[in-house]
Amino acid sequence: MNFVKRILTFIGASLLFCQLALATPFPEPDHSSIPEWIMIKQLMFGEREIRDGSDDILALYLNTKLDDSSTVPIMVNALMDQTEDKYIKTLYLVIDRNPIPTAGVFKFKPEAGRVKLETRLRFEKFSFIRAIVETNTGDLYMDQRWVQVAGGCSAPSGKNANDPSLGKMRFRMDDQIRLNEPNLVQFQIKHPNESTLASDLEPGYAARFIDKVAVEFNGKSIMSGDINFSLSDNPIFKFYFSPQAEGVLSVRAEDTHDTIFTDSVEIGTDKR
């Protein structure tokens, strides 16, 4: 009987220890000394200097109450306006320890008025998420956050690849669009955005995910991106654009199965 009590006590103490260990945050490492980042930085940017941009160039935000590693909301806000003289032309989203570290490379134009990007990401391991911007003058700036979730890329897929609404887009914006000012626009694409590591992928099946997206207004580029399965299923994109007149905002997306999806919405001061 004493032996059974000792075993039960040991198991109880072990479970308590495990609970405490899971509840205790893993210490945030020095972001500049991560081995994966050192290699990624060299491959992507060589010896170019990447400055801290968190004071006056960009800010990276994420929800700190994370419970789903396959859908982690992030937001990148530029702290500078887009002007013809100086503007952010490229935004890189890098997740150091994901299978494909470069989650997205987004291109912007001065016509956006201001750069903002909101989307949702998958994290396979504890990792830094980095937002790196390059200006038209060739300068690089970065902000980063430590993320403590794992298993997002190997989680089961959404199983909606054969959904008849595949590729359907949904737009959200203010009822009143202001001309010559930055306006927030959001669109979402119905798509499984399957990870190549998804635990339920059938052998020999090529994962299907969106790899290109482009937004135009009246035929002029506003934002474009090369992306991959580091973005969650049914990916969302939220960004600014600054229309000079009424017109048509159009979106074109392409996935790895060579399927192209398009949609558009009329933009006017009395929209909707």
Q: Enter the pTM of the model.
A: 0.87
Q: What is the mean pLDDT of each run of 10 residues along the chain (272 residues)?
A: 39 34 65 96 97 96 83 95 93 97 96 92 95 97 94 74 86 89 94 88 87 95 96 96 92 97 86 42
- Answer yes or no: are the C-beta atoms of 37 and 128 closer than 8 Å: yes
Q: How many residues in total does the chain contain?
A: 272
- CA 120 to each of CA 10, 173, 175: distance values in angstroms, whole numbers, following the listed order: 41, 18, 25
Query: Which pLDDT belongs to residue 143?
Result: 98
Place of tokens 């048509």: 248
Q: How many whole angstroms separate alpha carbon 151 and alpha carbon 68?
A: 9
Does 27-267 carry CATH code 3.30.1700.10? Answer: no
Phi, psi of 224 (to 5 degrees): -145, 155
Q: What is the DSSP letter of 231?
A: B
> Alpha helix (H) ranges present in 141-225?
none
Query: Which pLDDT belongs to residue 269?
Result: 61
- CA 78 to each of CA 89, 228, 230: distance values in angstroms, whole numbers, following the listed order: 11, 23, 22
Closest Cα to residue 146, out of 74, 253, 40, 68?
74
Q: What angle do CA 91, 218, 228 make, to 5 degrees?
A: 35
Would you kindly state where each structural domain of the chain is located, as residue ranges? 27-267
- Answer yes or no: are the C-beta atoms of 207 and 195 closer than 8 Å: yes
Query: Which pLDDT belongs to residue 174?
Result: 84
> Alpha helix (H) ranges present in the chain?
2-23, 35-45
Query: Which pLDDT belongs to residue 156?
Result: 76
Query: Which pLDDT belongs to residue 25?
Result: 62
Cα separation of the two ends of the chain: 75
Quickly list DSSP for 219-230.
Answer: TEEEEEEEE-TT
In 3-state terms, what secondary structure has residue 78? strand
